[in-house]
Amino acid sequence: MTMSSKEMVEACTKYSLFSWSATGKVDPMPIARAEGIYLYSPEGQRWLDFNSQLMSVNIGHAHPKVIEAIKKAAETLIYVYPGMASEPRARLSMRLAELVPGDLNTFFYTLGGAEANENAIKAARLFTGRQKILTRHRSYHGATHGAMSLTGDPRRWPNEPGMVGVVRVLDPHPYDYSFGKTEEEIVANNLVYLEEIIQYEGPHTIAAMFIETMTGTNGILPPPKGYLQGLKALLEKYGILLVCDEVMCGWGRTGKLFAFEHGGIVPDILTMAKGLTSSYMPLGVMAVSDRIAKHFQDNVFWGGLTYNAHPMCLATALAVIDVLEEEKLVENSARMGEVMTGHMARLQAKHKCVREHRNLGLFGIIELQKNTRGERLVPYAGSHPVMGKLGRFFRDNGLFAVLQWGGVMCNPPLTINEAQLAEAFEIVDRGLSIVDEVVTD
């Protein structure tokens, strides 16, 4: 039962729909197997996975220990309904309570990030008795109805008007606007603006604010210094919960287990998915603080899913956490992140198309410009033909990288080593020469 690349692509595009695309226009990479940081076509063509698929295969592909754990879980207990207790549920919940900082000790399991956020909306509303939710424009929170409404980026537009009660605000890094010059100024001005919005909306009507602690698909944006602490204090002043969405930035991606640890805060609710199982099985989690958990000891949590607390998925998460710890992958993410910064700085010095680069751990982006005055290559939600050429070049030269508007995402598995990073950036280096050709003075 082996298909050629051509057979695979023809059948997939004829009989299945592709997300965020007109299926007739997609040209998917045909993948037969994957191992470590590499993907392989049926004919043996190899690509370095420079995006960990959807920033999610954090321990690399086909880790034997996790595969073994999945087989064992299948043989032991594949499924029981959510009203039952199971050993994976007991063990993972205890492990998470130990690992997740602060008093985030109680967990609700879903099948992915969007569902974790949907349930966080419910928990915040039920706990506070308030309805409105603040979110930011440069954000993505998932594709289901509520999560899509929380999302600020253009993927929301075709789904509008969406869920009522969402108030979107500018985050500290608007696309083409600045709240100030220094990080301190940016934070102070953003929080003054935000407090005014809270006043206009009525603090007593706002249940929570959702943020991606470090924004992912909207630009790999670390929070400016002091923002998380200032934001938490401001929200607390008005009894508004802080929900940190760490679906993408959690589980070691930024060089710490959770991105909020860089900011010295603990949110009231944390949502996670992706890296927790390294995407080997679907799993999302909503973690709530002790006071919220206490509320739901006495009050009904009005949420449920057939696959809530699916034993196979939970057993997979336990095995992935073992691998993260045994192989010190969070530490490797921090160390290789510094190596990545070095490569990016070198490329910026060499290529006139590089506008700026950012990374925290192995969560990075190189942003491109169309002239040496720093004008972005691509306007908000726009495109540029040279990005198509760059994507083609990467694909033809053994690199799977995600291009976002005018940026090259740099998010390899946390297992990557120095030689492999050099291999990836050598291809990026050659690719950027194509973009240099369109840059004017």
Complete DSSP assignment for 223-284: PPTTHHHHHHHHHHHTTPEEEEE-TTTTTTTTSSSSGGGGGT---SEEEE-GGGTTTSS--E
DSSP 308: T
Q: Phi, psi (5° rounding) for residue 322?
A: -55, -45
Q: In sequence order, which residues have a C-beta less than 8 Å from that of residue 258 and are 6 or more positions away?
A: 100, 101, 213, 244, 246, 249, 250, 251, 270
Q: Smallest distance, Å, CB 246 to ligand PLP?
A: 7
Residue 245: how many CB atoms within 10 A of its CB? 32
The whole-angstrom distance between residue 204's C-alpha and the CA centroid of its chain comes to 30
Nearer Cβ to ligand PLP (30/112): 112
Q: Smallest distance, Å, CB 73 to ligand PLP?
A: 20
Nearer Cβ to ligand PLP (216/337): 216
Among positions 30, 60, 88, 112, the unique one binding ligand PLP when judged by CB under 6 A: 112
Binding to ligand PLP by CB under 6 A, coded x per residue (else -) over 55-94, reads ----------------------------------------
Edge-to-edge strand ranges of the sheet holding 284-289: 104-110, 284-289, 269-272, 241-245, 206-212, 132-136, 166-169
User: Which of 199-207, 244-252, 367-375, 411-419 is the region at the interface with ligand PLP (rule: CB under 6 A)?
Assistant: 244-252
Nearer Cβ to ligand PLP (363/393): 363
**Under the criterion CB under 6 A, does residue 142 sit at the interface with ligand PLP?**
yes
- Rounding to the nearest 10 degrees, give the CA dihedral for residues 262, 266, 271, 277: 60
Q: Smallest distance, Å, CB 216 to ligand PLP?
A: 5
Q: Which residue has the tokens 């290559």?
A: 377
The whole-angstrom distance between residue 99's C-alpha and the CA centroid of its chain comes to 19
Nearer Cβ to ligand PLP (235/285): 285
The whole-angstrom distance between residue 121's C-alpha and the CA centroid of its chain comes to 18
Residue number, nearest CB to ligand PLP: 113
Q: Smallest distance, Å, CB 114 to ligand PLP?
A: 3
Interface positions, 153-172, toward ligand PLP (CB under 6 A): none
**Under the criterion CB under 6 A, does residue 141 sit at the interface with ligand PLP?**
yes
Task: Tell me the residue type at 245.
Answer: D
Task: Tell me the residue type at 345.
Answer: A
Nearer Cβ to ligand PLP (171/245): 245
Radius of gyration of the chain (CA): 22
Q: Smallest distance, Å, CB 213 to ligand PLP?
A: 9
Q: Which residue has the tokens 């990005």?
A: 387
Among positions 216, 222, 303, 406, the unique one binding ligand PLP when judged by CB under 6 A: 216
**Under the criterion CB under 6 A, does residue 54 sit at the interface with ligand PLP?**
yes
**Under the criterion CB under 6 A, does residue 222 sit at the interface with ligand PLP?**
no
Q: Which residue has the tokens 């990374």?
A: 359
For 308-398, strand residue ranges (E) read 354-360, 363-368
Q: Smallest distance, Å, CB 249 to ligand PLP?
A: 7
**Under the criterion CB under 6 A, does residue 212 sit at the interface with ligand PLP?**
yes
Binding residue count for ligand PLP, defined by CB under 6 A: 16
Q: Smallest distance, Å, CB 363 to ligand PLP?
A: 11
**Under the criterion CB under 6 A, does residue 248 sit at the interface with ligand PLP?**
yes
Among positions 113, 252, 267, 407, the unique one binding ligand PLP when judged by CB under 6 A: 113
Nearer Cβ to ligand PLP (215/289): 215
Burial class (CB in 10 A: 0-12, 13-18, 19+), 395: middle
Token pair listed for 439: 């840059």
Angle at 68 between CA 67 and CA 72, to 5 degrees: 120
Among positions 242, 273, 321, 386, the unique one binding ligand PLP when judged by CB under 6 A: 273
Nearer Cβ to ligand PLP (60/284): 284
Among positions 50, 127, 140, 210, the unique one binding ligand PLP when judged by CB under 6 A: 140
Burial class (CB in 10 A: 0-12, 13-18, 19+), 73: buried
**Under the criterion CB under 6 A, does residue 30 sit at the interface with ligand PLP?**
no
**Under the criterion CB under 6 A, does residue 245 sit at the interface with ligand PLP?**
yes
Among positions 48, 220, 247, 314, the unique one binding ligand PLP when judged by CB under 6 A: 247
Nearer Cβ to ligand PLP (110/332): 110
Question: Which residues bind to ligand PLP, rule: CB under 6 A?
Answer: 54, 112-114, 117, 140-142, 212, 216-217, 245, 247-248, 273, 284
